[in-house]
Amino acid sequence: MMAFKETKFPADAPVAEKALGWVDDRFPLTKLWNDQWGKYYAPKNFNFWYIFGSLAMLVLVLQIVTGIFLTMHYKPDALLAFGSVEYIMREVPWGWLVRYMHSTGASAFFIIVYLHMTRGLLYGSYRKPRELIWLFGFGIFLCLMAEAFFGYLLPWGQMSYWGAQVIVNLFGAIPFIGETLSLWIRGDYVVSDATLNRFFAFHVIALPLVLLGLVAAHLIALHEVGSNNPDGIEVKENLGPDGHPVDSIPSHPYYSVHDMFGVSVFLLIFAAVVFFAPEMGGYFLEYNNFVPADSLKTPAHIAPTWYFTPFYSVLRATTANFMYVLMFGVAAYVALIWLTTRLATSVKAAIAGVALLVIIGMLPQILDAKFWGVVLFGASVMIIGALPWLDKSEVKSIRYRPDFHTWIYAAFFVSFLTLGYLGTQMPSEMKTLVSQLCTLLYFGFFLLMPWWSAMGTFKTVPTRVTFHPH
């Protein structure tokens, strides 16, 4: 049996060094720090787009800490929940600040994650060998959406109550199992005390554990294959005499300082919102949520929080008339696959058979538009996870793609933002038409990516990263 050897230090060694050595002999603390940050080498041409990963970690810690303090006073009871939130706001010392930090942090989290995903999209950070990093990140995004949804009911305000009612009722559109599934999620025939208790359990215990695990997996996978960069060049393919990539620098202290500047700017903006505009005009905290939940009084306009509204708009855009457009789109997409791909005839025939069943299912006599709205609602989220296998571009970064690719990306971002805005507004005939057009642009971006991403004349990618010291 191997004997344990403890690290020896000179008698005059600092106490902190001895203490760290004692820990390292029993737990790889220094090794973990060096592997994950201290001596992790990252490309030297990172720009401001690369601060959002660190900011997401900061906001995650902020949400956990403020959430812990809120649970000390919150009552997950239908009769007491709204009053306990008011008690936190009015009676608990600094409770209003903790509550506003948590509510503002939820919106800040999604803003940061959306920007983080935008960077990945622009620079091809989902491409080989980083597919698993993207999938872990996508899992984090799904977990965040679930966490936000379950937390949305907890204030037990009017919009919380009716928003949860509407979203849970969407599952009722699923054939055969919909009503049972909705009942299982609610725990009752309507949103009630049972719903509040289970949502509280998921929001406070279950999902945070899953989220932390996914974040750890995301970081481990990232540091295993290395970070991408704005040029999309694999820096690990060009190593120096010391065994490190010649176009990389240690994360600490270089990117520690870089991130600290980003954190400073973020905290300044975050504090300004928390202290001066925590409701953000009703987008961060809806005004109806300052009214106790009333199951007998429905708000004039029910809409989810802004970070769900792009996908909610896809749901609302799926009307009976729009189904005929979708039928034509499915048929045209199958024709495109049949005429332009080299798939085996049997595979093409299978795709055509599935498409035919889908088109038949879209007939109003078979399945109504509400069901297909739920399908598109889910598909609009899940399709993001398929990006690594949809992009067939010769290069990763948008810097070296044809110019028309930039316009395609711009159209996608505009359509996504438009869907987000329309989801917060009362529906009208014109707004529905615009949302339907944006829905087609949104799905067209992903579904046609195997074709448009490979088209055009690509610019020459340099062998070394482009870096301009400042």
Return the bridge partners of 42, or none.
249
Nearest to 325 by CA among 433, 416, 220: 433
* C-beta contacts of 160-169 below 8 A and 24+ residues apart: 160/289, 160/293, 161/191, 161/293, 161/294, 161/295, 162/293, 162/298, 162/299, 162/302, 163/302, 163/303, 163/304, 163/305, 164/191, 164/195, 164/199, 165/190, 165/191, 166/302, 167/304, 168/195
Both structure tokens of 464: 């070394």
Query: What pLDDT was estimated at residue 3?
Result: 63
* Feature table: binding site for heme b: 102, 116, 203, 218
Q: How far apart are CA 84 and CA 160, in angstroms?
A: 15
Distance CA 155, CA 369 (A): 32
129 upstream amide cis, omega within 30 of 0: yes
Could you count the other beta carbons within 10 Å of the beta carbon of residue 391? 17
What residues are designated binding site for a ubiquinone? Answer: 223
For the record, the structure tokens of 300 come out as: 């004039």
- Which stretches within 124-157 are classed as H helix? 131-152
Q: What is the largest CA-CA distance in the chain?
A: 86
DSSP 8-state assignment for residue 288: G
Residue 238: predicted pLDDT: 85
Tokens (6 digits) for 201:
């359990």
The model's pLDDT over 31-77, given as tens digits with 9 standing for 90+, comes to 888 877 778 889 998 989 999 999 999 999 999 999 999 999 999 99
Q: Residue 351 corresponds to which amino acid?
A: I
Q: What is the pLDDT of residue 1?
A: 53
Q: What is the DSSP secondary structure assignment for residue 304, as one 8-state letter?
A: -
State pTM to two decimals.
Answer: 0.93
**How many other C-beta atoms lie within 10 A of the C-beta of residue 377?**
22
pLDDT, position 171:
82
- Chain Cα centroid distance, residue 320: 30
Annotate 207-222 with b (16+ C-beta within 10 A) or e (fewer): bbebbeebbebbbebb
| H helix or E strand, kind and range, residue 41 | strand 41-43
Tell me what pLDDT residue 313 has.
Answer: 95
At residue 307, the pLDDT reads 93
Distance CA 330, CA 41 (A): 46
Successive 10-residue mean pLDDT values, the chain, 470 residues? 67 80 85 81 90 95 96 94 95 96 96 96 94 96 95 92 86 82 88 92 95 94 91 88 87 89 96 95 89 87 88 93 93 93 89 92 85 92 95 94 95 96 91 95 96 93 80
Q: Which residues are annotated as a binding site?
A: 102, 116, 203, 218, 223
Q: What is the pLDDT of residue 470?
A: 57
Residue ranges of domains in the chain = 25-300
Alpha helix stretches (DSSP H) within 248-368: 256-276, 309-317, 322-340, 345-361
Q: For residues 110 and 141, what is the distance between their CA atoms, to the nearest angstrom?
A: 9
Fold of 25-300: Cytochrome Bc1 Complex; Chain C (1.20.810)
At 250 the three-state DSSP class reads strand
Q: Give the pLDDT score at 120.
A: 95
